[in-house]
Amino acid sequence: MSMNRIVLLMLAIFLVEGSLIPWLIPDSYGDRIIPHFTFVIVIFSALYGSRHQALFLGMGFGLLQDVIYYGHMIGPHFFFMGLIGYLVGVVLERKKTTLLLAISVVGFACLAYDSALYFVYSVFKFTNGSYPWALIQYILPSLFLQLVFTLCIYVPVRKMFEKRMRSAESSEEL
């Protein structure tokens, strides 16, 4: 039951980050601050849910993004959202994760995600900027947006995932 709610929430965030968030970002930063909110939720599900949950959520919403905004190719978001979510889950799943740790993990995960996407696009020559330039131009500025978003949603989303995990465990015991 709760899983439905998680997916619904992520769907809402996915819709909003493509249509509402661009309006909230100042004009001159329009192509520099780029929201990756669904990805942040995937990391949350890895930290406070399970790694498999993160893998499937990441793959699902990555694929959704690839399809909806089909431009060059389908695959990068699908693969890296799932993979990074899973790796975070492998390392930190069910450890006691504090706010500070969660924020730093989200930060590093976003860096890894953006860098991985950059390298995929540069392997296929869809981008001609250098990596240091990309880092300064959009990876670091958007990192701040992701961290602020993490701070805002930390408490409710953590509760949501932990509740879901508890109910899953108790149903297993029964």
CB of 12 to other proteins, least distance (A): 9
CA 110 – CA 84 distance, rounded (Å): 9
Backbone dihedral region for residue 75 (phi beyond 0: left; psi -120 to 50: alpha; all else: beta): left
Q: Are 51 and 89 in contact (CB under 8 A)?
A: yes
Nearer to other proteins, 64 or 158 (CB): 64
Nearer to other proteins, 27 or 173 (CB): 27
CB of 159 to other proteins, least distance (A): 26
Residues that bind other proteins (CB under 8 A): 15-23, 27, 30-31, 34-36, 64-65, 67-79, 82-83, 90, 114, 117-118, 120-121, 124-130, 133-134, 137-139, 142
Give me the helices (H) in 93-139, please.
99-123, 131-134
CB of 120 to other proteins, least distance (A): 8
Nearer to other proteins, 63 or 103 (CB): 63
CA 90 – CA 1 distance, rounded (Å): 25
